[in-house]
Amino acid sequence: MNFKGKRILITGATGLVGSHLVEKLMSIPDVRVIALSRNENKAKKVFTKHFTNENFTYIPHDISVPLNIIEELNEYIDIIIHAASPVDNVTISNEPLSVIFPNVLGTKNVLDFMLTQLNKTGKHGRLLICSSLVVYGNHSDGDITVTEEDSDVSKCVNDPKAPYFESKRMMETIAYAYINQYDLDVVVARPSHIYGPTLIQPNSAFYEFVNLANAGKNIVIKNKGLPKRDNIYISDVINGILTVIKKGKTGEAYNISTNNKLDSFISVNDIAEKIAIMVRSNKKKSSVSFINKEAKKTVLPGIIIDNSKLVSIGWKPVVDFDEGIEKTLDYYTK
């Protein structure tokens, strides 16, 4: 598939993944990008340079609400990328329905849009669902490696983060149901832990570490027993998503990860220390301390996300963790 001349709709356009997708696609000649997000003020801040571009359209819309914009757009949509999904722990804990609705109802709404368009035009568009590594689980005593077929283990449904990981699983279940019942063209991307520069920062430990270190402040680790995790830089994720759209097989899921390569399978503790060390090299005072002394010693087993399926269709990650941290710190320093 060649993106030139395509009309591509992106939900969650101001988020980490969505905003980088917009930038990447707007750099391709003759691509029409339709960006959806709830907050118009954020969109104007993130996409200032694109609002006057005839190939860019912004539509303020909550994807939890049906996507009745076919007449408004007055054009056929070739590709939808459903990237709308709150990811920060505060929202997951305090506003769980704000997580569930964009994931579950949002997925239904983009699928219904594609189905309505198919019935009206007879043309199949392609939908990519941005899922997550949270569809996997690890109940073992050590690190494990999972492939796309290993989504049969997860956490308990009363876990505080269940609204996120269970709704991500349900996104895929709904998508597979539409594929089977209506023969829609849907593919799934499962990125691992994403990091990198973004104008609108997610409320997560990584960005808290970056901001504290850049301010020359101490990074304090409060929790013990944090697991190692498979981290991946945002540009590698974007290239992975576009590869899945181009070459992915309908109804298939594809992991986007470093697969324990590029020094990217590390603990949250190690991430904090790497950030502090790099900032100190720029003559800013920052260090890492542990409120709970066991926190530094105790690292729980992690999940290595096998990426061989996506690699087999022409993609590979290229940014190692140190380089990714340097790129991120440099962005916020400037």
Q: pLDDT digits over 78-97, tens only?
A: 999 999 998 888 888 889 99
SS3 15: coil
What is the average pLDDT across 56-71?
88
Task: Name the percent of the chain lying above pLDDT 70.
Answer: 92
Long-range CB contacts (< 8 A, 24+ apart) of 123-126?
Answer: 123/76, 124/184, 124/185, 125/76, 125/77, 125/78, 125/79, 125/80, 125/185, 126/1, 126/78, 126/79, 126/80, 126/185, 126/186, 126/187, 126/245
Q: Which pLDDT score, from 0 to 100, does residue 126 have?
A: 98
pLDDT of 127 above 50: yes
- Arithmetic mean of pLDDT, 114-143: 92
pLDDT value, residue 269? 85
pLDDT at 231 over 90: yes
Whole-number pLDDT of residue 102: 93
User: What domains sit in the chain, N to C, each tagged with a CATH number?
Assistant: 7-196+233-259+303-319 (3.40.50.720)
Q: Which of 201-215, 247-261, 288-302 has the highest mean pLDDT?
A: 247-261
Contacts of residue 299, defined as CB under 8 A and 6 or more positions apart, other chains included, come to 225, 226, 227, 228, 267, 269
Query: What are the pLDDT digits (tens) for 275-307?
Result: 888 887 665 555 555 444 555 556 778 999 999
- Looking at residue 291, its pLDDT comes to 46
Contact 266, 231 (CB under 8 A): yes
287-291, 311-315, 322-326, range with the lowest pLDDT: 287-291
**Which residues are paired to 188 by β-bridges?**
129, 253
pLDDT on residue 55: 96
More confident of the two residues 1 and 324: 324
State the average pLDDT for the chain: 90
Q: Is the pLDDT of residue 317 over 70?
A: yes
What is the tens place of the pLDDT at every residue in 6-36?
999 999 999 999 999 999 999 999 999 999 9
Q: Which amino acid is residue 127, in one-letter code?
A: L
Reply yes or no on whether the pLDDT at 334 is more than 80.
no
pLDDT higher at 222 or 146: 146
